[in-house]
């Protein structure tokens, strides 16, 4: 999984864990047009604030330094000073300017970074950069994840081959709500495409809205959610500026990478055994459809019913009813795993529910709620809520 000009490396810095990779570096030998989305949580981690400030001044960067085990969130001035120290150290090691380095973190909130260990690990990582090292970085960013999450797509246009490679982490504290610059979800995208900055930012935002912003594991939006997309132009294609076939090809490929990563996050949700698509149809407005989907997907009662393979549609319609969406309850139809269990707000019967329960034994299935009140649709991905999720999070800091 190589992209021209990009290298990476990861090391065991001992930031929180022992015996596992926890600090990574991504580097491009040429400057990259960079797009980003960050958490909209009012409480933002130091690396998010630092990166947002840098993005206001420039859209060209060469490196990302990322750690797991410590979020560097709620760490005040010290946390911001640590970000600057990391960027200065990385710049000296990589031979670039400190303002060309972005920092990201994931892990426990409210703990200061062990800077001696961090900077020593950073020096080791920068000394062993290689194209193959990018896969090591995808491992170093994991916290409660059980597997790495990567995706790649190729675009062919006028004799040029463009590669897009992405990595992500996330298993808990997953309900991303990310916008453009003005346990956590991180994603880093690398491409060798030549792109126009405004096109690249809008394309990333559109892609995030259709992927990461449509998933939830537990309804909690992190202080550290970050997506960074770096394009170094080494494919030497015509500039993708929002017009023509190439721009559409790139947008489609980026969207596919983001959607793949988002699905992998839900499928690796903490303790999850099910990955469920919740599809709302027939809403009066886009916002109504979105509210309805989000409320159903984040309902603990609905999610535990998924775990129990119980087609408890009463929990689903109750969640829809409290979502704030406007609809007629006696017009609602609900199908689980393709089996209709509710028509015009009334149960179809026990046989239908037995058939639906069989469908819920699958790892993946769909819940469709037709409000029959309008023309707007919205879909989201969620997972079940299990005993293991409780165990993981009860023991997270102990």
Active site residues per annotation: 184
Q: How far apart are CA 62 and CA 395, in angstroms?
A: 38
SS3 237: coil
Q: What is the dihedral of CA 61, 37, 77, 68, to 10 degrees?
A: -80
How many residues does this entry show for the chain? Answer: 398
Distances in Å between the Cα of 120 and the Cα atoms of 93, 124, 161, 362 are 12, 7, 38, 47
21's enclosing H/E stretch is none
Q: In a 10 Å sphere around its CB, with 0-12 CB exposed, 13-18 middle and 19+ buried, how is residue 225 labelled?
A: buried
Q: What is the DSSP letter of 33?
A: E
Per the rule left: phi > 0, alpha: psi between -120 and 50, beta: everything else, 309 is left
Residue 193 tokens, joined: 């495409």
**Chain-centroid distance, C-alpha 207:** 11
Distances in Å between the Cα of 226 and the Cα atoms of 6, 179, 276, 285 are 20, 9, 24, 29
């Amino acid at each position: 999984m190589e992209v021209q000009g990009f290298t990476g490396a990861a090391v065991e810095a001992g930031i929180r864990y022992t015996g596992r990779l926890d600090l990574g570096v991504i580097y491009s030998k040429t400057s990259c047009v960079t797009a980003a989305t960050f958490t909209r949580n009012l409480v933002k981690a130091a690396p998010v604030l630092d990166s947002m400030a840098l993005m206001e001044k420039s859209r060209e960067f060469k490196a990302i330094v990322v750690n797991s085990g410590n979020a560097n969130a709620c760490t005040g001035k010290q946390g911001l000073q640590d970000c600057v120290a990391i960027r200065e150290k990385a710049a000296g090691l990589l031979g670039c300017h400190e303002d060309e380095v972005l920092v990201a973190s994931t892990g426990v909130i409210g703990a200061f970074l062990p800077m001696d260990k961090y900077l020593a690990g950073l020096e080791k990582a920068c000394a062993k950069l290689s194209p193959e090292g990018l896969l090591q970085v995808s491992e170093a960013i994991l916290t409660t994840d059980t597997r790495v999450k990567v995706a790649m797509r190729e675009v062919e246009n006028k004799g040029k081959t463009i590669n897009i490679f992405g990595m992500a982490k996330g298993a808990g504290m997953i309900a991303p709500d990310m916008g453009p610059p003005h346990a956590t979800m991180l994603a880093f995208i690398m491409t060798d495409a030549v792109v126009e900055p405004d096109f690249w930012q809008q394309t990333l935002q559109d892609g995030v809205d259709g992927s990461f912003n449509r998933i939830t594991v537990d309804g909690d939006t992190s202080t550290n959610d970050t997506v960074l997309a770096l394009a170094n132009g080494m494919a030497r294609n015509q500039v993708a500026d929002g017009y023509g076939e190439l721009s559409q090809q790139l947008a489609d490929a980026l969207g596919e990478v983001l959607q793949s990563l988002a699905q992998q996050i839900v499928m690796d949700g903490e303790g999850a055994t099910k990955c469920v698509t919740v599809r709302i149809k027939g809403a009066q407005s886009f916002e109504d459809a979105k509210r309805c989907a989000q409320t159903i997907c984040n309902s603990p009662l609905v999610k535990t019913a998924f775990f129990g393979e119980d087609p408890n549609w009463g929990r689903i319609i109750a969640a829809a009813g409290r979502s704030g969406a406007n609809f007629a309850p006696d017009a609602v139809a609900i199908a689980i795993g393709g089996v209709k269990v509710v028509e015009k707000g009334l149960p179809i019967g026990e046989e239908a529910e037995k058939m639906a329960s069989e469908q819920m034994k699958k790892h993946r299935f769909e819940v469709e709620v037709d409000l029959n009140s309008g023309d707007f649709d919205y879909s989201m991905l969620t997972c079940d809520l299990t005993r293991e999720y409780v165990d993981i999070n009860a023991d997270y800091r102990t």
